[in-house]
Chain A
Amino acid sequence: MLKLDARVPGGPIEQKWANARFEMKLVNPANKRKYKVIVVGSGLAGGAAAATLAELGYDVACFCFQDSPRRAHSIAAQGGINAAKNYQNDGDSVHRLFYDTVKGGDFRAREANVHRLAEVSVDIIDQCAAMGVPFAREYGGTLANRSFGGAQVSRTFYARGQTGQQLLLGVYSALERQIGAGKVTMFSRTEMLDLVVDNGRAVGIVARDLVTGAITSHAAHAVVLATGGYGNVYYLSTNAKGCNVTATYRAYKRGAGFGNPCFTQIHPTCIPVSGDFQSKLTLMSESLRNDGRVWVPKSKTDTAKHPDQIAEDARDYYLERKYPAFGNLSPRDIASRAAKEVCDEGRGVGPGGRGVYLDFRDAIARDTEERIRERYGNLFDMYERITGENPYRLPMRIYPAVHYTMGGLWVDYQLQTTIPGLFCLGEANFSDHGANRLGASALMQGLADGYFIIPYTLGDYLARLAGVNSAIASPTSSAFAASEDLVRARLDRLMNVRGSRSIDSFHKELGHIMWEHCGMARSAESLKTALEAIPKLREEFWRDVTVLGDRDSFNQSLEKAGRVADFLEFAELMCKDALIREESCGGHFRVEHQIDGEAKRDDDRFCHAAVWEYAGEGKEPVRHVEPLAFENVKLATRSYK
């Protein structure tokens, strides 16, 4: 039975993190090297955690499935990172960032965590600048900012359209420094396939060396998962191809509660799907909405016309019309639903009518093409490479796509999961963003967790562990052996189906089910349809999938098959969570619960985080709740009008 104790420290919200830090036990500097910590994932959260824990003196092992830690998917974030610096003198503050994030998340995040995030945001920018991240600057040499959706202040720091890349390279350089110093052992091209739990504590992982196929056990005093989100359950998403749910799902099966799995973010500005062969969707940064205006023709009959042929008064700038206060910078969930709505009305543009215009005509006329090129040049180039169209001449065509998952492993204030010794950071955990994440906040959360939170909270865990059991588990113990057997048996099972359907065909079919029935709009009926279809597809997968190649060598098919097998189980959990949450909030839109097309929350019944407990193979998972109290931001209907 799961025990959900959020361990939120006492005191007023501004004091909680300071109080918590003071109450934490410390590990003597000379003893730190005796503690071994496993970090799975090398993105902003995992890489920052591994580097920082090593700087403090811990013995760290870091794992990633890519060929280098520098390739983690944080690298693809384009627009920026938020921080409450108030460098623009436009009214920003820690409290305002906290407020915007709680409201943006539609009141489904834990207040204390969000406040801490806003507090440490300012330190992140300092740290990144010191490490040589080439943030955009004003002519006088100070840092530049831009605006992002869901905020009326300019608090987003950026490095052209490659902010994620530059922040990750900062993290990566710090990590490589520790690898070079012998403080971090790096395991690249290595994938975690199971979590090992012994006597109720996380004691290590079982991983597969993706080059040799060898299954290996790794023991530690604590395990940190920073393995990103599960957007690829939809097959088509803006995630990298390798992003997967396996690490967190394996942890869930070992007893870690999974928080709000149905909370998915659909990003409004992505390049539309162009055919069946499509393997991923490409984001066009939200920052483009600072200068681009979103519109569709007012009349259905104009949708096939060349955009230049559609007069100004025949255009519907629907975001500006519906949400005059935030306009084109409305939050992602709202902008996505508005795009779906106009396309459902038959006013969408481009192939299949699944697209809206993002138009820079007015911005180019106002600021010159040169200025626009300076701000967004690389994004415009990317758009042209993919579509073959020049966005300086023609408006971009965009459509919403799966981008981020707010759900993840449930963690307490210390970022510890329901399994003692197992911590979870970044997109992989459920905290901070509630039911909708604001733009430029994912990078902030990843670095906050990795640089400034886990170094404290993990130390507290280890210091308290010392009194209980400071001996490291043996990788040859029975818990590890049992886990290795399970992993090998599963790989054998995948290899031995020898069916007739390709892995991708199953993944695409699952993605289609999820997008149609558990996507931008969900209903009890659609979710029930999905809950019938998914087990059937899963059964067919295990009967008819074909995985070629060898188990004990480099085999990309086998890697993919394992991840798709986990998605086929996890998708069901998402739909169950979405079905039970009979309200609309943030990215979770239940068509039965709306007022004038806007999300209608039900705070009486659902002002909580849902936390799912695995109950065993073939058994119904158990839903627990963590009630959410809003003492500092008043519960209110979100309005951007």
Chain B
Amino acid sequence: MSDLNLTLHVWRQRNAKSPGKMVTYKVTGVSTHASFLEMLDILNEQLTAKGEEPIAFDHDCREGICGMCSLMINGRPHGGQRATTTCQLHMRHFKNGDEIWIEPWRAEAFPVIKDLCVDRTPFDRVIAAGGFITANCGSAPDANDILIPKESADDSMDAAACIACGACVAACPNGSAMLFVAAKLAHLHRLPQGQPERMHRTQAMVTAMDAAGFGNCSNHYECEAACPKDIKRDVMALMNRDYAKAALASRDRETKSDGSG
């Protein structure tokens, strides 16, 4: 296959405070075997040779698992290929002469740091609020003492595959983090170990999600289509059910504690 010459429109923004704009670049001689990020490497080498500052973009493992890479490519998170992160998107899916628009994640909760890099620390804050099982090191029973049906372990693993890249938030017209939060809850709640803290965890994480500035879900399911790990929207139904139960239970608890006061 021959090499590609492309026209790129890339979002450049100096820092969180400066306004940004789309800048057009030509990139030449891109192998069809290169990944999308390798295409950006080639552009950055060409920019460096001209004395222009390279484009900042987040990336690390480049094998689709760390969740560091992002990018809206032609308006779609990770470029829109099913179950594929940007680092795993390869240039054989583009044609010579293509024009490509590249932007950072667009979501109020994820402010731009520079160019294509955004701040995703709100995700960490949601996990810190309850995305864990309280099990201090050293206190565990033998692993085979907790029997887990294969189906439960598999279902849990499906949800646990989330890489926290933020594509779901970027895809959502409301900038909602429901799929991310619900995936973590489903991972833990499909296992027996997750049951003791289930109600508290659901409430705490939803509260933290709201506080972090994510929008509400209005059932577009763009998140599911954009997810590079194929997380299914049924996790959100599980979360909504638990949240309703947790809200009722906590009202019960308040009533009781008032009574015994």
Contact = CB atoms under 8 A, between A and B. Distances in A.
Interface of A: 48, 51-52, 55, 66-71, 73, 75-76, 85, 87, 123, 125-132, 134-143, 159-160, 162, 164-166, 169, 172-174, 176-177, 179-180, 186, 188, 211, 240-242, 274-275, 277-280, 282-283, 381-382, 385-386, 388, 451-452, 455, 502, 504-505, 546, 548-549, 553-554, 556-557
B108 interface: no
Interface stretch (B53-61, B231-239, B247-255): B53-61
A279 B153 contact: no
Contacts of B41: 277, 279, 504
Contacts of A283: 63
Q: Which 3 A-B pairs have the closest CB atoms?
A: A141-B147, A180-B128, A173-B132
Contacts of A139: 149-150
Contact of B148 (A141, A160, A455): A141
A186 B123 CA distance: 14
Given A73-B61, A277-B34, A386 B90 contact: yes
B164 A70 contact: yes
Contacts of B62: 240-241, 279-280, 282
B142 A241 contact: no
A51 B51 CA distance: 44
B33 A274 contact: yes
Interface string B98-122: 0000000000000001100101110
A68 B123 contact: yes
Interface stretch (B170-178, B185-193, B210-218, B219-227): B185-193
22 contacts: A66-B66, A67-B68, A68-B124, A87-B144, A128-B143, A129-B143, A129-B146, A130-B135, A132-B194, A141-B149, A162-B65, A173-B132, A176-B132, A177-B132, A211-B113, A241-B59, A277-B34, A277-B42, A278-B38, A504-B41, A548-B51, A556-B56
B24 interface: no
Interface string B76-94: 0000000110001110100
Contacts of A186: 124
Contact of B54 (A68, A129, A548): A548
Given A67-B121, A130-B193, A134-B187, A176 B60 contact: no
B80 to A, nearest CB: 14
Contact of A76 (B15, B61, B150): B61
B128 to A, nearest CB: 3
Interface in B156-196: 156-157, 160-161, 163-164, 187-188, 191, 193-194
A541 B142 CA distance: 54
A75 B33 contact: no
B65 A67 contact: no
A132 B58 CA distance: 29
Nearest to B117: A554
A52 B128 contact: no
B189 to A, nearest CB: 10
Contacts of A130: 133, 135, 139-141, 143, 146, 193
A381 B141 CA distance: 36
B38 A126 contact: no
Given A68-B120, A548-B54, A127 B61 contact: no
A553 B15 contact: yes
B60 A242 contact: yes
Contact of B48 (A180, A455, A502): A502
Contacts of B7: none
Nearest to A144: B150
A144 to B, nearest CB: 8
Nearest to B37: A279
Nearest to B1: A388
Given A67-B121, A127-B138, A275-B33, A141 B150 contact: yes
B12 to A, nearest CB: 12
B52 interface: yes
B68 to A, nearest CB: 5
Interface of B: 14-15, 30-31, 33-35, 37-38, 41-42, 45, 48-49, 51-54, 56, 58-68, 83-84, 88-90, 92, 113-114, 117, 119-121, 123-124, 127-129, 131-144, 146-150, 152-153, 156-157, 160-161, 163-164, 187-188, 191, 193-194
Interface centre among A48, A174, A241 (most CB of B within 10 A): A241
A275 B1 CA distance: 13
Contacts, number: 218
Contacts of B58: 67
Given A132-B191, A280-B63, 4 more contacts: A126-B143, A131-B133, A176-B132, A385-B88
Contacts of B160: 134, 159, 166, 169
B143 A176 contact: no
B143 A125 contact: yes
Given A129-B193, A176-B132, A241-B62, A134 B144 contact: no
A488 B136 CA distance: 40
A61 B45 CA distance: 36
A381 B88 CA distance: 10
A554 B113 contact: yes
A188 B60 contact: no
A546 B47 CA distance: 12
A140 B153 contact: no
A138 B151 CA distance: 9
B65 A165 contact: yes
Nearest to A560: B54
Given A176-B132, A180-B129, A556-B56, A385 B66 contact: no
A451 B136 CA distance: 10
Contact of A556 (B42, B54, B64, B143): B54
B60 A134 contact: no
Contacts of A69: 124
B132 A137 contact: no
A90 to B, nearest CB: 15
Contact of A134 (B83, B135, B157): B157
B156 A134 contact: yes
A618 B153 CA distance: 57
A240 B56 CA distance: 17
Contacts of B56: 554, 556
